[in-house]
A and B are shown apart, each in its own frame.
Chain A
Amino acid sequence: MSSLSEHHYKNCPEYKKMMDAIGYTPAKKYDCTELPFLPVRLFKMMDLYSVEKGEIVKTMTSSGTTGQLGSRIFLDRETSSNQTKALTKIVSSFIGKQRVPMIIIDSPEVLKNRNLLSARGVGILGFSIFGSKRIFALNELMELNIDLIEDFIDKNKNERIFLFGFTFMIWQHFYKELVKKGIKLDLSNSVLIHGGGWKKLANESVSPEEFKNKLNEVCGITSVHDYYGMVEQTGSIYMECECGHLHTPVFSDVIIRRAKDFSIADIGEKGIIQVLSVLPHSYPGHSLLTEDEGTLLGEDNCPCGRIGKYFEIIGRLKNAEIRGCSDVYAERY
């Protein structure tokens, strides 16, 4: 990890300036816990990359909140291919090593512009490699294509089907539609992987347990796994195990930091999530401070049997009730 920092220091002029300003020494070997971290928001404020511009083969974007720019992440061939390899390794532990029939619970519209992919597009494209054949469950108007789905399930009834989508989309356009139409599907042998966060569902007071239970009611599915990941570290995602815990894959590490001084929080203590990944080579995203709050639950002792750190996400850092007369709260003037 320390040599990755050194690589970015040498090849990304902006990163060098940042590191110089905090007194980083490139020659020194840093332990993972001492490695400097960049706040993810910086990728929204400036273009950061550590390779020649000509080597960049793909640019990914994350959705910005209203009125703000999204992140721009620059990938060269090597980083992009490592992301795919890492994702394959992580996900195969949940759906097996073979490619399987895949239902994408989204609309094909999100993949329209392949050069400039949104976070949803990145996720779908990344996970698509696990599909032997694929269908999109929603049309361009985000309407559920029931006939297509039923036909697909029927044709593949002897196989395990892999479903993928974004948590809120699944709830809004899949679960609710099935309930509304009074349709039950048989997906009892399927695996669902979903991500994107709980913010919108929390607003509707839907808990992860309820999400699983309700889905089970409409389609009999039992294997439902959330994942935590971000465009800024595509590939090295954190999967939810059978015990409902997020696990750190071998490519990554998670450190929970105290807001007060960025010191390392104890197990069970709430803090800001720092994510480390060995994959980012073309941009300085190997050590990032997220804007999410979480708790480390333990290491090597999750009842699911997987080794490594496991943790839970509490949610986005709250936009503090900041006092003062300037525009922070302009949206509710």
Chain B
Amino acid sequence: MQKDISDVEFLFPIQLDIDNFLNLTPFEPFSENAIEFLNDLSVELNKDVDSRKYGEIAAFAFFCRKANIFSFKKKYLNNQTIRLGRGIVFHIAPSNVAVNFAYSLICGLLSGNLNIVRVPSKEFEQVSVICSAIYRLSLNKKHKFISERLLLVRYDRQSSATAFFSSVCDVRIIWGGDSTIEQIRKSIIPPRSFDVTFADRYSLCVINADVFINETSPEKIALAFYNDTYLFDQNACSSPHLVIWLGSDINVEKSQEIFWTNLYDVVKVKYNIQPVTAVDKLTSFFNQAVKLEKASKVDMPDNSLWRVQLKHLPQNIDDYRCSGGYFSEYHAESLTELSKIINRKYQTLAYYGIEKSELILFVKEVALTGIDRIVPIGRTSDFSLTWDGFDLISTLSRICEIL
């Protein structure tokens, strides 16, 4: 493979000796070096005035704290197995989420790898803030070990850099959905290397109306749900599109009224609908009305929030989705009824008012082909080292067995 990376913009480091980089060694997961680096990155970002402008940078800095990383470390150090990073991880971040690349990088670092990260081609200020914080850390000798194992790049899709970086990586992480994955996979990776892919997914929410009816702060639940959905234009893989109601008829009816009214109050203040999204919603709804029996629109004050009530739950409900605040809802007898819709595409289930024991049973008996995460409403986009069903630390490291 030709090292044709002449059209690559290096965000970090500014000067790169690629041959030297490729010869560096991986290291053990949760190494002191990596944890110190992340903790100092957290401090550095918090010092940076710019980062206060962006909630997602603050959230990222919070994630990088030593205390948080230690809590993850504990989970992994429970046996005598020797693990090492697999080598070079090549991350392809999604183009339209600013800080996702940084979380992907954390996984690569904590699992003991060298990292080549392709940041979004769109120039987000958040990316520059994080990159310059990394640059400042690299000036400290203490962080030489980690920073020389880091490469942050940006390039257009026409570039042959993807082919080159693919040819030298041990693991390639592809974010960005089905067609991106298809494109990237045209570049060959070495025989022992593999891809970790984050494809298009579908997510839903379950609310137990018998509990919700007694909720004293429904506005907080509505805000939490807003953060799950509208915050990313309902277009993150973890954003619910379907709301399943459980409970008695009367409680469901009342709860729906309370829930959607409260949500609308949040949306009204915080969300600005794009004209094209309004047209998308009307189109999606008519398409749904033709192809699914008995789907009806619930009157709402405006286009920023669309509710479609389903009288029965079609197996392919995941085909009828739209971004920007468009929800199908259905009153189910029980969680068991979901068995007919759940498939491999299902990722996150956000819940309210359901016991954990019930959720465990649900996973073992109902959600056998899909659903990788079950989280309380409001936490669908919380990042974790386990994502889409992959334990990323284990996946990005190898075991050396000593008998």
Which residues of A come within 8 Å of B, CB atoms? 14, 17-18, 20-23, 38-39, 41-42, 45-46, 259-262, 271-272, 289, 291, 293, 317-330, 332-333
Contact = CB atoms under 8 A, between A and B. Distances in A.
Given A39-B286, A333-B95, A260 B273 contact: yes
A106 to B, nearest CB: 30
Given A45-B283, A260-B273, A324-B235, 13 more contacts: A20-B289, A42-B287, A260-B304, A262-B303, A272-B279, A291-B279, A317-B275, A320-B277, A322-B274, A324-B237, A327-B176, A327-B179, A333-B176
Contact of A259 (B122, B178, B275): B275
B183 interface: yes
Contacts, number: 146
Interface in B269-308: 273-279, 282-283, 285-287, 289-290, 295-297, 301-304
Contact of B279 (A17, A41, A326, A328): A41
24 contacts: A18-B289, A22-B285, A22-B289, A41-B279, A41-B283, A42-B283, A45-B287, A46-B290, A259-B278, A261-B301, A261-B303, A272-B275, A322-B233, A322-B274, A324-B96, A324-B233, A324-B236, A324-B239, A325-B236, A326-B236, A327-B176, A328-B96, A330-B180, A330-B183
Contacts of B100: 325
Contact of B282 (A23, A289, A327): A289
A23 to B, nearest CB: 8
A21 B275 contact: no
A29 B214 CA distance: 45
Contacts of B180: 327, 330, 333
Interface in B260-276: 273-276
Contacts of B231: 323
Interface of B: 92, 94-97, 100, 121-122, 157, 175-180, 183-184, 198, 200-201, 231-237, 239, 273-279, 282-283, 285-287, 289-290, 295-297, 301-304, 323-324
Nearest to A293: B275
A175 B6 CA distance: 39
B235 A325 contact: yes
A289 B276 CA distance: 11
Contact of A289 (B121, B235, B279, B323): B279
B297 A22 contact: yes
Contacts of B122: 332
Contacts of A289: 279, 282
Contacts of A23: 296-297
Contacts of B295: 21
Contacts of B234: 324
A325 B198 contact: yes
A207 B332 CA distance: 56
A321 to B, nearest CB: 7
Contact of B179 (A261, A318, A320, A330): A330
Contacts of B289: 17-18, 20-22
A291 B95 contact: no
Contacts of A321: 96
A327 B177 contact: yes
A267 B296 CA distance: 33
Contact of A326 (B237, B296, B324): B237
B186 to A, nearest CB: 12
B85 to A, nearest CB: 25
A271 B275 CA distance: 8
B237 A325 contact: yes
Nearest to B174: A333
Given A42-B286, A260-B278, A317-B279, A324 B97 contact: yes
Nearest to A14: B290
Contacts of B177: 325-327, 330
Contacts of B273: 259-260
A143 B163 CA distance: 39
A325 B274 contact: no
B297 A21 contact: yes
A325 B324 contact: no
Contacts of B283: 39, 41-42, 45
Given A325-B94, A330-B180, A38 B233 contact: no
A318 B235 contact: no
Nearest to B182: A330
Contacts of B239: 324
A259 B198 contact: no
A262 B278 contact: yes
Contacts of A320: 233, 274, 276-277, 324
Contact of B287 (A20, A46, A291, A322): A46
Contact of B235 (A22, A45, A322, A330): A322
A65 B179 CA distance: 17
A9 B90 CA distance: 55
Contact of B276 (A20, A261, A317): A317
Nearest to A15: B290
Contacts of A322: 96, 233, 235, 274, 277, 323-324
B92 A333 contact: yes
B94 to A, nearest CB: 5
A81 to B, nearest CB: 29
A35 B303 CA distance: 17
B372 to A, nearest CB: 14
Contacts of B277: 259, 320, 322
A215 to B, nearest CB: 32
B282 A39 contact: yes
Contacts of A317: 274-276, 279
Given A39-B282, A260-B302, A272-B275, A18 B290 contact: yes
